[in-house]
Structure 1
Amino acid sequence: MKIAFLGTYPPRECGIGIFTKNLFDSIIPNSSTANTSSRAEIKPLEGYVVAMNDHDNTYSYPGEVKLTIRQEHQRDYLEAVKYINLSGADLCILEHEFGIFGGQNGIYILPLLHRLEIPLIVTLHTVVERSSYTEKAVLMQICKMAYRVVVMSHKAIEFLVNLYGVPREKIEFIEHGVPDIHFNQEDSKKEFKLDNKKLLLTFGILSRNKGIETVIRALPKVIEKHPEVIYMILGKTHPNVLYHSGEEYRTYLQLLVKNHKLKDHVVFLNEFIGQRELFKYLSASDIYITPYLNEAQITSGTLSYAVGVGSAVVSTPYWHALELLAEGRGKLFKFNDSDELSTILLSLLDNPKDLNQIRKKAYDYGRTITWPKSGEKYLNLLKEVLKANPEVIFKPETLIDPLLLPPFSLDHIVRLTDDTGIIQHAKYGIPNLKEGYCLDDNSRALLMVLMSYCQTKDKQALKLAPIYLSYIHYMQNKDGTFRNFLSFSRDFLDEVGSEDSFGRTIWALGYLLANAPNDAYYQTGRLVFFDAVPNFEKIKSIRGIANTILGICYYLKTNPSDDAITETLKRLTGVLIEHYERNSTPDWPWFESLFAYDNGILPLALLHSAELLNDEKVTQIGIQSMEFLTEITLKDGYLSIIGNENWYKQGGERAMFAQQPLDALAMILMFQQAYHITREKEYLRKLFSCFMWFLGENDLRMSLFDFETKGCCDGLESYGINRNQGAESSLAYLISYLTVLQAFERIEEKELVN
């Protein structure tokens, strides 16, 4: 039988990775820790690992790792499940922790699990009592698809049954395994030059919830009586914390040590060490401390290790500690209570007999949870599942297939961008500096990189954002309007830009205010946005109005109590409705007497406005106009855009060529919003059909995406493809791409409530 293991894995520095490695070694034959007594009925047993990579980091994995998944890349999950299904694996074991999978609350793992064609066992490393809607829904969906759910504490069983509705018979209790490694305390102390010292130890990945400051505040009283005490904080900062906040927490702790004059008694070892070295430190310690700040810790591998090696543990009463330290296997102190901690530490240091009794009880219990014993329990579970041969029921409908998409790349956008902004045009794939910059494209570029960062946490996208935001700020006039064009030599080429460029800028700024990656960007965006507000109601162009409506709607989603902007939204929406009522007829339900450019933006704006205003009439007109546009452009099963040569006048013939990527983008966004407010799956199918226009499902059956440059060609012409790859077309492609991925995610989210 073959087992697929899915989780983080060494050398990635992650506690769950170590767990996955220990589990793999305790189950698969020919490993140093493998126990063979229960294998007779399931021989031959082999396995491999699918490893989760954080962000875009790569690692030199051992041979058992056959495939990796980049955390924020949806297509990687789908490629992985295809590999697993075709690998001959009979069963998959998933190590689940919300933070190691991509998307909101790790939702990206669901498409993989939905498509898994073999039975699933999941080990839950986190089960929370008070979860967000999505956290709860994701966990419930995973438990629904799993044949067995393994937890490591009785509290987790209680939560799963009472809060998540998981049948009790589906849940298996297997305690966190402990490596069977032993060192002599005296020898270990000598090796670390800690002779004649009393070592207090905390280890693990550092983050604010660890509560190490509680220990530091407790030390002065302890050291006053026991100056031989050394407190060692062993561990690197959590990668996610490092990614977002750097070493802020470690610096705070170091300042605390300095202020309490403890520099000779506190040691920081900023390392992620191997298991053997870790167990030497544990063996050398006199007291192990876990000072977590709240009870919501359902499993702690560090605590299991400390008990397993026979440490005298002093801990706050979080859930796992309450269970593991029961019956005298450790001491508990109240959260954030440095005084009580001082008292307990002094009592233990003053009474070696009590200390040794705790150590013995912990050690005796630790013998029952070594990895060979935990691995044996997993083997018995595997036997049960494989004998039952459960049927895999769930097969999702394929409305969107991300595997048809080329890999996402910002290469061409980086090529077009300098320290001023994004260059407007290109000759083939090379920036055309003669044409300079424009506001439209820098606004689109800001929207795209913000979408990219929100969805994929792409650092490169985040680095580009201030360039485009600075361009927008630079081009704003004192009255809040904007110039549009800037030469390559940074000379203004107009006094006031078009209303379309104004509206697109408000759209990007509104999106920024709803999705700002940090406060500096938010404050700058807010300043520019509100300087522009007095001009909102001066706009006459219906496309300028439509783009402005989109920006207002994004702003109001996070600022719903802004009554003045809400009133502006109502008035601008009223202008679009008035245009529709004035020009529409029973056989021409449209806003003008012709289809021109960027047509989908008009229904799109109404559908966004309808969501916020909850206005049935606005919804109805948005849907009617959308359906009419769909009838004209999607009637043959693929997108055929109204050409910009002569457009399509009522009663006339439609232009076929000068089809622009901007129109495809508007259609894609329109169908995404239609699905969002109606939940009708057919809109997702149409959305994906429109995206495939970029990849060759169009009137010329030619791809506009250039697989070499990673740019998008400027349009379909009567002579073929316009091979120039300017900013507008490439940004339209990338925003469309990100919209498809977001729509795919929403399909998976919808399954959560079914």
Structure 2
Amino acid sequence: MKITYIATYPPRECGIGTFTNNLFKSMLRQNEQHEQTNEGFVVALNDNELTYKYPEEVKVTIRQDHQEDYLKAVKYINLSGADVCILQHEFGIFGGQSGVYILPLLHRLEIPLIVTLHTILKTPSYNEKAVLKEICKMACKIVVMSHKAIEFLTTIYDVPKEKIALIEHGVPDIHFSPEKSKKEFKLEKKKVLLTFGFIGRSKGIETVIKALPEVVKKYPEVIYIVLGKTHPNVLRHSGEEYRIFLLRLVKNLHLENHVVFLNEFIDEQDLFKYLYACDIYITPYLNEAQITSGTLSYAVGVGAAVLSTPYWHAAELLAHGRGKLFQFNDSDDLANTLTELLDKPEEQVKLKNKAAEYGRNITWPKTGEKYVALAEKIVKDERPVPAKKETEPDLLILPPFSLAHINRLTDDTGIIQHAKFGIPNLKEGYCLDDNSRALLMVLMAYKQMKDMRALELSPIYLSYIHYMQNADGTFRNFLSFNRNFLDEIGSEDSFGRTIWALGYLLANAPNDAYYQTGKLIFFNAAPNFESLKSIRGIANTMIGICYYLRSNPSDDSMTERLRNLANVLIKHYTENQSPGWNWFESLLAYDNGILPLALLHSAKILNDDKVTQTAIDSMNFLTQHTLKDNYLSVIGNEKWYKKEGERSLFAQQPIDAMAMVLMYHEAYFVTKDKDFLNKLYTSFLWFLGENDLRMSLYDFETKGCCDGFERYGVNRNQGAESSLAYLISHLTVLQAYEEFHKSDLRLV
């Protein structure tokens, strides 16, 4: 049997890495007792761009925050001949919100999956719960290390109990003489208290230090050893603040001769010498939320006398006389318990014997044997036949999201509408259309990625919109580079796109100041909504109203305005529909996907079957004429596509591809049909070369998007409209990608 392991791994200093290393060795070693031979390899997680000199069993590495690495890793696993995959799960070791980056890897895995859960939260966030539930759905078996973990999985995460296997944390089968260990460390005349593991505020070491003055009054030979480095995450964010606090506490309590800090991550041989040398082992964690503790398992495994606060794992592992408990953050209780135990050596012996008896059953060879048996059963009895999977975004070919070109086009007035190649064309000035699109894009980027540059750009575009609004609520569109108005009233399309951006702002405002400004502009414009005549202006306005109503569903008057506008679109559809022509006009022109998109948005609010059906029918008609041979062929703007005429192939523009991406994205939310995610991604690939000319419009050097296709080829100018269309589409793909892997999450 060939096994692949996904986890952190030594020499990275991480408890899960140590666990995985022991599991790897124990499963291979265990099988030497059988005729067949196990083999395996490791896929290791790196953190914060660090690299490590891994042993030969590590065949692939994943940079924690690089999505493409996860996809490369799963391709390697699927081609490796591995029979089963064992994943060590802890939220903090995988990239993305709540470790979501691991989901696409697991979705693409073509071999059975066993997941070992090291953390199971009692009160998870919405995303944490959704991610863990998705992982549990994909796993053939879920391994936990305590009965409390089983309770949480079944009651909080809805995991079937029969899917869960209890295999307790393994303990290295290492033995030393307590007397020789004490002598080696020159501790023969000391009563040794010990805590080991990564150091951080939650470990409660100050509770032990505060208890020592009372203990050393009676037992001056007591020494407390704190063995372990500051946790890497704590070190990055807070430095050695906690360790310094502890050192000051020791000094203030005059315990310099009774407390020793060993700031090391030592190997298991030396660690076990310290465990055998200690008289009493202490885990003083500050709260109950610890479902698994490897350090506690080690202490029990070697037969130490253990004192602990009653966190979940400790309350379970130390039951039946295997240890004693004291209250959280209660130094007096600990001092009394320590003194009582030191007063009664025979009680220490009882605790040690009980722990040692239990520890003999959780050595790594025995734990490895249980994992091997579990894996063999899954491979033999439960190996699934690989099902045909839905096409999904392949982030390996997505360029990194970048605002570089948008920064280049933006000054303190707004975004310049045109460019010569990748250079802003100042002669053309600014327009409302593009500043509204830009506001929408940066709000999406900030919401999804918390991109601070996007947040910094948003008031520039919002203030442009405010500046261009007329007293009657309408908007001018064009502004020269020297800030002269170039029109009195802009197009209805530009009006609608502005309402869309403002509606999105009202639903997703990053702060109250932006919300209040957006609300003022939005409602100043509102009296003009029902006087619109352009169906694209109407459609864009409807989308903005829908976003507004998502956060203000009780606004009945705005809901009625939405209904009236939807009826206008349906009237156009009814008047122009004929056999084989399910559309709103007698031609397919520009920005076509916006029309079904507006009705799809409205369908969720109006609950009107006619709205929904018109949206679906018109979308299917548009799909029929633009998605062929598994790529998007946008209706060209040279002559468009008149009913009973020939469609125009050239002058294809990015806003049309963006409209298709957004349309399929919304269609998925309305119908829950994952085929629309496939169509969404196919439409996005138009930007990257899956198109009629087989040429990429995205410029990997400038990070801008070319303005479209002409008969001669790609129009290399990279104006605001095309670049914003690409970025909005890119963000939508990322949003859909996350939705695909967290199907029970509703992302706006």
Q: What TM-score, normalized to structure 1?
A: 0.79
- Look up the equivalent residue of 1:400 and give its one-letter code: E
User: 122-131 vs 595-604, which deviates more?
Assistant: 122-131
The residue number in structure 2 matching 1:704 is: 697
Amino acid at match of 2:36: I
- Cα distance in 2 for partners of 1:424, 1:274 equals 60
Q: How many equivalent pairs are there?
A: 725
Aligned residue type for 2:715: N
2:290 maps to which residue? 297
Q: Could you say what secondary structure the match of 1:47 adopts?
A: strand
Please list, as runs of the form range in 1=range in 2, the aligned pairs for 1:406-445 lying within 5 A after superposition. 406-410=398-402, 412-413=404-405, 416=408, 424-430=417-423, 441=434, 444=437
| 1:40 is aligned to 2:34 | yes
CA distance, structure 1, for counterparts of residue 174 and residue 426 of structure 2: 65
- Contact map agreement 1:211 1:336 (CA 8 A) in 2: no
% identical equivalent positions: 56
On the 8 A contact 1:310/1:364 being kept in 2, the answer is yes
Deviations 1:631-675 (A, max 9, x none): 443467643323344555678765543221111111111111112
Secondary structure in 2 matching 1:602:
helix
1:567-716 mapped onto 2 (5 Å cutoff): 567-581=557-571, 584-585=574-575, 586-587=577-578, 590=583, 595-634=588-627, 638-645=631-638, 647=640, 655-707=648-700, 709-716=702-709
- Give the letter for the 2:571 counterpart: E
| 1:315 paired to 2:304 | no
Secondary structure of the equivalent of 2:652?
coil
Q: Which moved more, 1:443-452 or 1:624-633?
A: 443-452
Which of residues 233, 243, 247 in structure 1 aligns to 2:238? 247
Residues 589-620 of structure 1: per-residue CA shift (max 9 Å, x gap)? 65566654323223223322322343334323
Which residue of the partner structure matches residue 6 of structure 1?
6
Measured in 2, the distance between the counterparts of 1:271 and 1:434 equals 64
Instruction: Provide, for residues 233-289 of structure 1, a one-character-per-residue CA deviation record: whole Å limited to 9, x for no partner.
Output: 9554574x888xx439x8689779989995866999797724446657656766544
Task: Check the 8 A contact 2:566/2:602 in 1, yes or no.
Answer: no
- 1:550-606 residue CA offsets vs partner (Å, 9 max, x unmatched): 45544554x35x634x64254145224325425741336655666543232232233
Q: How far does the alpha carbon of each residue in 1:666-698 deviate from its partner, in whole angstroms, 9 at most, with x for none? A: 111111111211123443343233223223343
Aligned to 1:26: 26
Partner of 1:392: 384
> Which residue in 2 is equivalent to 1:32?
none
- Native 8 Å contact 1:115 1:395 kept in 2: no
Q: What secondary structure, in the 3-state scheme, does the structure 2 residue paired with 1:68 have?
A: strand
- 1:178-217 aligned at under 5 Å gives the runs 178-180=171-173, 201=195, 203-204=197-198, 206=200, 210=202, 212=204, 216=206
**1:63 — aligned with what?**
56
Alignment-derived partner of residue 457 in structure 2: 468
How far apart, in 1, do the equivalents of 2:123 and 2:437 lie? 39
Distance 1:496 1:89, change over 3 A: farther
The 8 Å contact of residues 208 and 284 in structure 2, kept in 1 or not, is answered as no
Q: Which runs of 5+ in 1 are unaligned?
A: 29-34
Deviation at 1:151, TM superposition (A): 2.5
Distance 1:36 1:435, change over 3 A: same
Match in the other structure for 2:554 = 563
When residues 508 and 310 of structure 1 are mapped into structure 2, their CA distance, relative to the original with a 3 A threshold, is farther
CA pair 106-615 structure 1, distance change in 2 beyond 3 A: farther
**Cα distance in 2 between the residues matched to 1:264 and 1:551:** 67
| Separation in 2, partners of 1:538, 1:271 | 69
Q: Which runs of 5+ in 2 are unaligned?
A: none
- Letter matched to residue 671 of structure 2: T
What is the letter of the counterpart of residue 195 of structure 2? L
CA separation in 2, counterparts of 1:331 and 1:450? 54
How far apart in 1 are the matches of 2:476 and 2:275? 65
Indicate how the Cα distance of structure 1 residues 102 and 86 shifts in structure 2: closer, same or farther if over 3 A, else same. Answer: same
CA distance in 1, matches of 2:620, 2:260: 64
SS in 2 for 1:17: helix
Residues 720 and 534 of structure 1, relative CA distance in 2, 3 Å threshold: same
Instruction: Decide whether the 8 Å contact of 2:63 with 2:69 is kept in 1.
Output: yes
Query: What is the distance in 2 between the residues matched to 1:170 and 1:289?
Result: 34
Deviation at 1:356, TM superposition (A): 6.0
2:651, 2:188 → 1: CA distance?
78
1:31 corresponds in structure 2 to none
Q: Aligned to 2:732, which of 714, 730, 739? A: 739
**Alpha-carbon distance between aligned partners in 1 of 2:479 and 2:235, rounded to the nearest angstrom:** 39
State how far apart, in whole Å, the 2-side matches of 1:318 and 1:446 are. Answer: 48
Give the deviation of 1:725 after TM superposition: 2.8
Provide the rounded CA distance (Å) in 2 between the counterparts of 1:600 and 1:268: 69
Secondary structure of 2:24's aligned partner: helix
With normalisation by structure 2, the TM-score equals 0.80
- What is the identity, as a one-letter code, of the residue corresponding to 1:475? Y
- Distance change (3 Å), C-alpha of 1:236 and 1:555: farther
Deviations 1:127-149 (A, max 9, x none): 45666787667656655654444
Partner SS state of residue 156, structure 1 = helix
CA distance in 2 between partners of 1:194 and 1:510 (Å): 74
Amino acid of the structure 1 residue aligned with 2:394: P
* Cα distance in 1 between the residues matched to 2:487 and 2:275: 70
Deviations 1:100-142 (A, max 9, x none): 4456655554544444333333323244566678766765665
Verify: 1:527 aligned to 2:516, yes or no: yes
Question: Partners in 1 of 2:643 and 2:436 — Cα distance?
Answer: 32
